[in-house]
Structure formats: structure tokens, C-alpha cells
Amino acid sequence: MKEHLDKFGAFFVQNLRDKILDYLETLLAGKSKALEVQELQRKLAQLSEDEKKLVRDLVEDITTDGMHDLLFALQEEADAGGAIRVLVDDKEVAKVSDGLHGELFGDEGWIVRYSKYPSEKERQRSRWAREQIQRMFRERGEDKG
């Protein structure tokens, strides 16, 4: 059943996160031919490399946060028996996961496994989370590390 969840994760990451970040890279490189973005590209071209990195980081954070919030809402909807469901091969993905929003993160999360842009920040965040969990278990005398 995990393959249904992974199929959804790959689709979700590649068709949302990667498309957004691909478009951003196209704009930052000044490669879009669309007339409606020429002024934006001109302004982006004037940014320093540090400023462009800031824009990349901002767009990545906003995208990841939006993905998290949408997945959280889908999970809540499923848990409440609501009308909105995501099915993959007739399996409801929220029922396969213990929290769709958490599937994005960590060394084995969807972003690292399926994105062309596997954020180092996500890897760092997952290391931090593991350390916090291990510390919590040590403090409770339940070393699980």
C-alpha cells in the first residue's frame, strides 16, 4: 500500500514544487520568452547573486509551506470523513499515511526522494528533528537512538 503513497508523493512534488522552482530558475536566467514576464525578468537580472539566492530560498520556503498546508488539510478532511479524497489506484492516500503533511520531510521524505531540488534545508531539518527526538527519549530514560 505504500506504493500508492509514494506514487502520489512523486506526482505531487514533481508537478507542484519542481514546476514552480523550474519556472523560477527560468525567470532568474532570463530565458522565458513570454511577453508578460519580460519586465519581471529584467528586474530579476539586476539582482546580485546573493539577492537571487534570497529569492530562491523565499520561493522554496513559500512553496514547501503551501504544500505542507494543503497536505495537512487533505489529511484532516480524510480523518473527519469529509467529501474531498485523493485516490491513487482506488486507494485513499490519507488512509495509508499517518500524516500526509509529514511525508514531505526528512531524509526519506518526498522532497529529498522525488524533487529535482532536494533541499539541503530539509536534510538539516530532519537531522535536527532526529536529534530532538533522541534527546527527548534520553531525558525520559527511553533511549531509542
Q: Classify residue 57: in a domain, yes or no.
A: yes
pLDDT digits 0-9 by tens, 41-61 = 999 999 999 999 999 999 999
Residue 104 lies in a domain: yes
Residue 108 has pLDDT above 70, yes or no: yes
Burial of 60 (0-12, 13-18, 19+ CB in 10 A): buried
Distance (Å, whole) CA 128 – CA 125: 5
Q: Hey, what amino acid is at 65? A: D
User: Which residue do the cell numbers 529584467 mark?
Assistant: 42
At residue 122, the pLDDT reads 67
pTM of the model: 0.82
* Residue 131 belongs to domain spanning: 2-139
User: Does residue 145 fall inside a structural domain?
Assistant: no
Number of domains present in the structure of the chain: 1
d(CA 39, CA 4) in angstroms, rounded, equals 42
Domain membership of residue 96 (yes or no) is yes
State the SS3 of 108-122: CCHHHHHCCCCCHHH
Give a yes or no: residue 95 inside a domain. yes
Answer yes or no: is 43 within a domain. yes
For residue 130, what pLDDT is reported?
66
In a domain, 144, yes or no: no
Q: Residue 74: its pLDDT value, please?
A: 97
- Measured CA to CA, the distance from residue 122 to residue 126 in angstroms comes to 6
Per residue in 115-139, pLDDT (tens digit) is 999 877 766 766 676 677 778 778 8
Is position 11 within any domain? Answer: yes
